Structure 1
Amino acid sequence: MASESAIPEPTLIQSLQASIAPAFAMHAGVMLGVFTALGNTTLTGAEVAGALNVDPRRLERLLYALVSAGLLEIHDTGFCNGPEAATYLVQGKPGYIGEEHQLFDELWRADLLTATSIREGRPAAKHDFATSDPEASLAFFRGTAPSALSFGRRLADMIDFEGVHSAIDIGGGPGHSLIGLRETKPDLQVTLLELPANIMLAKTLLADEPLAEGLRFEAGSIVEAPSSITHDLAILKAVIQVLSREDAAKTIRNTYASLNSGGRLLISGVGILNDDRVSPSEAVFYDLTFMNLYPEGASYTRREYRDWLSEAGFVDIAFDAMPSGSQLISARKP
C-alpha cells in the first residue's frame, strides 16, 4: 500500500505573512522621520526620541525592528543608518525617496480591501482623479514626484534625443518626469497635459522649481481628445493602467494624433504584464491594487499593448526594461 504524501509545513504561508511586518516598520520609520533624525550620526534611542519628541520606550521597539529589517545598524554608542537608509531615506539628500511613502500609505490601505472589492464588485478604496479632495490629491502627487523625477532622468540617459525638440507628459501628475528630462536637456520644449484640477496641483508642486520655467500646461483629457499641438515625444507613465480597455485604446489613438510624423511614444508603469499573466510579479500584484482603486483599471498584457499600438498606427513597437527593472514600451509614428 502506497504511503500517503507527507503533509507540507506552512513555510510559504508563514514567509508571506512575515514579509509584511518589515515593510510596515520601514513605513513608520519614514513617516516619523527616524532616518532623517539619524542622518550620518550614531544616536541612542533616547536621543532619537528626543529629536522626534516621542516616547523613547515605544520608539526603541521600532528602532530594533528596523535593525532586524536591515535598515539600521547598532554600534557601541547607539543606532545609525545602514547604507541604503543613509542614501535613500534621509530627507534633503539627492537620492531621497521617502516621499513615496505618502503614496504607499494609500496603496497599502487599498490592498487590505481586496476581498471587499471582489465581494462587492466595486473598488472599495476608489480613487477618482477628477473629484478627489485637493489635499489628498496633493499628497498623492507629492508621493509620486520622486519616482517621476528619477524616471525622467533615466529616460534622458536611455533615449536618443536627436531630432527631439518637444515632449509632452500625458497624465503626468506633478510633472516631474519633464523636470528630470530637462536636467540634461534644458532646451527641450515641454508640455504637461492633465485634468484641470491636477494642473493646479502640479503648479503648486513646481512653483519653486527653476527647470519648470517655460513649461506649458495644457488642461484636458487624453481619453477625450489629442493635445492641441503636436510633439516629437509623448510619455504615458502610469496612465494606461488606471483606464478601462476601451479608454486605453482611445488614449493611445489620441496620443498618436498628438505626435509629429516620426514622433515617439514611451509607455511605462507597474501595470505591464507578460502574456503568461503571472509575471513580472510586481505587475501581477498591482493588478489587485488597481482593482481596489479604479472601476476598470488593471495591469494589461504585452499583447494587449501591442494590439492597441498597432491599431492606432504605431510601428517599431518594442519592449524593454529600465535600469530600475520596470518595463518600458516604445513605438514610433510613421
Structure 2
Amino acid sequence: MQAAQLTHYQSDFKLAIRDIPTPTPSENEVLVQVKVAAVNPLEHLIGSGSVKLIQNYAMPLTMGNELAGIITAVGSAVSQFKVGDEVYARLPLTKIGAFAEYVVIDEQALALKPKHLDFAHSAAVPLTGLTAYQGFTEELAAQPGQSVMIPGGSGSFGQLAIPIAKALELTVMVSGNARGQKSATAMGVAQYFNYKEENYWETLAPVDYVIDTIGKSEFAHELSVLKSGGRLLSLRMGPNRRFAQQHQLSFLKTTLFSMAGAQLDRQAKKAGVQYHFIFVRSDGAQLAKITEIVERENIVPAIDPTEFSLAQVNEALDLVANGHPKGKVLIRF
C-alpha cells in the first residue's frame, strides 16, 4: 500500500510517498481502508518536532491523525465493530498513520460515522469534536448553566464546539467575522461579536470560561473577561506545569514545560484564574456521544473545495499552513 511518511523532524519538512506493507490488525484492532483523511495544523507540529517532548516518534513515520473509512478486517477480540462498518476516528497519538491506504486502529478509538454525512464531511469531525468535548468536560469541568466565551469561534472549531456546548447546557458567546455570524446565531450563541466592529472585552459580562483559539496576542483580553476562579483553556499557546502533571510526564519534561508556561501561569494567577492547555486524545466512546450531537443537530462541517490525492499531500499541508482554507482540508483515496 502507499503511505505518506516523515523521515526526520524539520521546520520545512516534506512527506515522501512510499510503498509499505499493509498492516495486520492485532486482537483488539481493526483494519480500516481509508476513504478520506483530514489535514490539520497538528501535522505541522509533529513534522517540525514542536511536540516531540509530548510525543516522540520513531522514523520513518506514516503521518495523519484523522480519517473516515471502511473496516475490512477485525482482530479476534474485537466486539464492537464488524467488517463493512463505516467508521471514523482521531487516531491514538502513539499510533497515528491516516495518510495511508490502510491503517490498523484499536477499537477503543473508533466510532461509527454520522449517518447523514459522507466520508469527506465525517473526516472533518473527530479531532475538532473531541477537542471541544474534552475541553468542556475535562479541562474546564463545565457545569450546566455556566458561561463560555470563544474568541475566534466562528471558524471550524466553533462549528462543532458551539453545538457541543449547547448540548452540555452552557451559555456560549463567540467573536468572529461577519460571515460566521448567521450560522453561529442559528446554533444558539447568546452573543456574537463581529471583531471588526466591536471589542468583546469592552462589553462582555464576566464569564466562567474562555477557550482560546487565537494565541498569545489575545491572552490579556481573554483574561480580562473571566470571573475570579475561572479557567482559560488554550488550543494554541502551549503546555505548562499543570499539563505536564496531568499527563504524568517525566521530571525533566515537567521542568521544561513549567519553564515554558511560567509567564502564562503568572499572568493567569494575577488575574485570579487558571491556565490550561489541551492536547486532544483518541476516545471512541466520547466520539460516539459527539456523533449523536452531530446527527441530532444535523451538523455538516465545512470542508475546503480543493481536492487532494495522497500524491499531493505536501500541497495539502501547505494550504493548511500558509493558505486560507474554506474548511477542513482533505486527502481523498
TM exceeding 0.5: no
Q: Report the TM-score range of the alignment, normalised by the length of the smaller protein.
A: 0.3 to 0.5
Which structure would you say has the larger RCO, counting Cα contacts within 8 Å and 6 or more residues apart?
Answer: 2
> What TM-score comes out, normalization by structure 2 length?
0.41
* TM-score normalized by the length of structure 1: 0.41
Q: Looking at secondary structure, tell me which structure has more helix per residue.
A: 1
- Structure showing greater radius of gyration is 1
